[in-house]
Amino acid sequence: MSQHSPINLVWLKRDLRLTDHAPLADAATRPEPLLLIYCFEPELLEDPHYDERHWRFIWQSLDDMDRVLAPLGGKVVRLWGSVTALLEALYRTRPVAGLFSHEETGLAVTFERDRAVADWCRARAVPWREFPTGAVQRGLPDRRRWDRDWSRTMRAPPQDPELERIRWVVLPEDLGSGTAPESWCRENPAFQRGGIRTARQTLASFLEHRGRDYRRAISSPSASREHCSRLSPYLAWGNLSLRQVYQATLERRQAPGWRYPLTAFSSRLHWHCHFIQKFESECAMEHRPVNRAYEAFPYRTDDRVDDDLQAWCEGQTGIPLVDACMRCLHQTGYINFRMRAMLVSVLCHHLNIDWRRGVTHLARLFLDFEPGIHYPQFQMQAGVTGINTIRIYNPVRQSEEQDAEGVFIRRWLPELAELPVPLLHRPWERAPMERLMFDLSYPEPILDVTQAARSARERLWSWRSRDEVRREGQRVLGRHVRPS
């Protein structure tokens, strides 16, 4: 094979798998040899949304792909640098017949990068074939036929590449070379492991036995760790496609005893694309409220706000369930949906801190950080959409209902482990004698939960009733919600 013959490039982003992969499947049918690349971009390595936990997961995913490709003579070529600079270096080495990738509903930094890549492709006359991710549609004007299209996409046959027919390209070793930090390559058992094999094992165990208690366990911070699917990081980084999960779920749903839990689960797979579609259609919500009438919302600007934000970020608010959830996230990268919503509620409602001051912190902590879900969900829980029900989660009531015996709190707040259950949820209510008995190295609460919720209700509903919020809410409905 001539070193000057054209090659095709398949560019991996959040699609780290080798099955149901349309760009790879298409490129595999072409006569040109193929180079499969992943780029570690300085713009993302330095971005505040990302953390070492994400890069470790990605590295593990690439290692897993290499294990599959090695017997076929292939591998994922890991490059370091800005994508356009790397493409230019590749182009100077070998003519590029075509670039293949999935569309990415990402942050502003990846959107600008994609525009630069499109300019580079046009300047070099390199065709760039982009494929939709899941059922998310680029340039969608409204939601009139979106549900029908979603169902059609999810039920279509997977697009599996014929890996055996690919002729793989070998590159000069010094092109885009770089070294991963040792911490990326070191196993951390507290976090879910990245990769195709682990993803499939997680899906199989959920559909074989863990998912039976899905509906009962979904709100519990402890039980959800076992009985929820735990597939979110594998979907966020593309170790599995949503279609693969959906079709496996439909098949298993026919088994006796599985219809109700898996019906509930499959509805959440629909929500997955629904929220990403919101962000795809209005990605400016990374920087502003989707309902622009909330730009002037009266968040706090007092001298204590920075200290309160730091206490929330570090799990030192003095409210046990809030702190247990935050510390659990720091250590494992996962809590269930209800606890995530509660954290946002406490930040934006009880503490009245601007949602933009906490959104990147949770992105760094969530192993399953997916921009298209993170921002619409964060704004919905922060109550700045003008169309969704305002939910003010009482963290004490959530604690008493969802962690009644205090198992979760004791696990993540060992300094409270000796407290009896009633006080475990409200340690500030200890009587003087109990304070002598239980001398805790745990902070007093930074707020009065009841009073803070009362003030939040007045503030939120007063703002919600404004004419400009209602007018903007109609625009949001027309853009992001299917007609009745």
Element (H, E) at 275: helix 259-281
The pLDDT assigned to 431 comes to 86
Asked if 227 and 336 count as a contact pair (C-beta separation under 8 A), the reply is no
- Report the alpha-carbon distance of residue 216 to residue 196 in Å, rounded: 28
| CA–CA dist 373, 202 (Å, integer) | 21
CATH 3.40.50.620 domain residues, the chain? 7-131
Lowest mean pLDDT among 92-101, 176-185, 331-340: 176-185
So what's the pLDDT on residue 484? 65
Phi and psi angles of residue 28, each rounded to the nearest 5 degrees, phi first: -65, -20
The yes-or-no verdict on residue 8 having pLDDT over 90 is yes
Range 7-131: architecture per CATH: 3-Layer(aba) Sandwich (3.40)
Residues of the chain with CATH 1.10.579.10: 286-480
pLDDT tier at 1, thresholds 50, 70, 90? very low
Query: For residue 135, what are the CA distances in angstroms to 103, 107, 242, 378?
Result: 11, 19, 9, 22
Q: How confident is the model at residue 435 (pLDDT cuts 50, 70, 90)?
A: confident
Q: What is the mean pLDDT of the chain?
A: 95
* Per-residue confidence (pLDDT) for residue 2, from 0 to 100: 53
Domain 286-480 class in CATH = mainly alpha
Mean pLDDT of 199-210: 98
Residue 11 CA to residue 333 CA, distance in Å, equals: 27
pLDDT of residue 124: 97
- pLDDT tens track for 310-363: 999 999 999 999 999 999 999 999 999 999 999 999 999 999 999 999 999 999
Sign of CA dihedral 215, 216, 220, 226: negative
Rg over alpha carbons for the chain, rounded to the nearest Å, is: 24
Q: Is the pLDDT confidence value at 3 over 70? A: no
Q: What is the mean pLDDT of residues 363-378?
A: 98
What class has domain 139-157+196-281? mainly alpha
Strands (E), 125-221: 128-131
Of all residues in the chain, the percent with pLDDT exceeding 70 is 98
Task: Give φ, ψ of 171 to 5 degrees.
Answer: -110, 160
Task: Give the alpha-carbon dihedral of 257, 208, 275, 224, to 10 degrees.
Answer: 90
Could you tell me where in the chain the CATH 1.25.40.80 domains are found? 139-157+196-281
Backbone angles phi, psi at 458, to 5 degrees: -60, -45
Nearest to 90, CA basis, from 33, 130, 129: 33
Summarize pLDDT for 259-271 with one digit per residue, the tens: 999 999 999 999 9
Tell me the pLDDT tens digit for each residue of 46-84. 999 999 999 999 999 999 999 999 999 999 999 999 999
- Give 11's contacts (C-beta < 8 A, 6+ positions apart): 23, 37, 38, 39, 83, 99, 100, 101
pLDDT digits (tens, 9 = 90+) for 119-135: 999 999 999 999 999 99
Backbone angles phi, psi at 140, to 5 degrees: -75, 125
| Spatial distance between the Cα atoms of 375 and 213, rounded to a whole number of angstroms | 29
Please identify which residue in the block is written with the tokens 């780029």: 39
Q: What is the mean pLDDT of residues 415-420?
A: 93
Does the structure show a pLDDT above 80 at 253? yes
Rounded Cα gap, residues 400 and 396, in angstroms? 6
Question: Could you read off the pLDDT of 232-243 as tens digits, one per residue?
Answer: 999 999 999 999
